[in-house]
Amino acid sequence: MPNHDQETPLAPEAHRIAVNVDDNDNNNRASPQTKDSTKRQRRCLKCCGCATAVLGVLGVTILILMLTVFKVKDPKVKLNYVTIKGLETTTALNLVPNANLTIEIELAIKNPNAAAYKFKNVTTDIYYDNVLIGEAYNPNGKAKANKTFRVKVTIDVMLQTLLRIPRFLGDLAARELPLSTRSNIRGKVEIIEIIKKTVGVKVNCSLTVNLAGQDYKDLDCKRSVSL
């Protein structure tokens, strides 16, 4: 007879199976995202590098242009001629004190810049033996880039004004009048609306006008520029 008191043996404990997850599998699973992120980073680095290089080249180019082509240069002013009308046949014997004389002056303004030189009123004073005998004002003008602009000045002088100067009759007899001119020009050079500079030019000239030939000699001009 079976012994009911005999203990029934327990079933053997189930074996636990440990599954090792290979690190390579994790790497393989994460690799698509990692590769995409790496590619994006590389693209960003390349774009930033290209942008930096382009900006650097652009900056150097602008700097070179500002120091060469776009550098503001001083306008040059030259006295082309001076004539006195009304004294061609006048002598001490036929003087008419109330007669008007006309002094004509032509100035040449050379603009060496890559942009136009726009100037305001040109002021010109005429002196005879350090005495102011006339002054004139010219309207606004413009000297184009790398061009020369001519300014003609006409000044009316009363002969009576010259008669007050002691040496005038002697100079009239010699047919030579020593004059001096003082011209003041102020304007602005503007390059591509970025570079703007105000330039003032003063030109003082002394010369001797030949009344017979309407030419001049001993011309001496001095120029000063203010920025």
pLDDT of residue 209: 92
156 shares its domain with 96: yes
Same domain, 114 and 186: yes
Residue 35: what pLDDT?
66
Domain count, the chain: 2
Co-location of 145 and 176 in the same domain: yes
User: Which of 32, 47, 68 finishes a domain?
Assistant: 68
Contact 201, 167 (CB under 8 A): no
- pLDDT of amino acid 14: 47
- For residue 168, the number of C-alpha atoms closer than 13 Å in the C-beta half-sphere is 19
Domain that holds residue 118: 76-226
Say if 6 falls within a structural domain. Answer: no
Distance from the Cα of residue 7 to its chain's centroid: 113
Residue 86 lies in a domain: yes
9 lies in some domain? no
Whether residues 91 and 174 share a domain: the answer is: yes
Same domain (yes/no): 54, 80: no
CATH code of 88's domain: 2.60.40
Q: Are residues 44 and 151 in the same domain?
A: no
Do residue 171 and residue 207 come from a single domain? Answer: yes
86: left (phi over 0), alpha (psi -120 to 50) or beta: left
Strand partners, 29: none
Same domain, yes or no, for 58 and 129? Answer: no
What's the confidence (pLDDT) of residue 22?
52
Environment class of 49 (CB within 10 Å of its CB; exposed 0-12, middle 13-18, buried 19+): exposed
Instruction: Classify residue 169: in a domain, yes or no.
Output: yes
Q: Is residue 100 part of a domain?
A: yes
Specify the pTM. 0.67
CA dihedral 224, 149, 209, 133 (to 10 degrees): -70
- Domain co-membership, 128 together with 193: yes
Tens of each residue's pLDDT in the chain, 227 residues? 455 555 555 545 544 545 454 555 555 554 566 766 777 777 777 778 777 877 776 666 555 555 454 577 888 888 888 889 888 888 888 888 888 899 999 989 888 888 888 888 789 999 999 999 999 888 888 888 889 989 898 999 988 889 999 999 999 999 999 999 999 988 888 776 667 788 888 999 999 999 888 788 999 999 888 87
What is the predicted pLDDT for the residue at 45?
A: 76
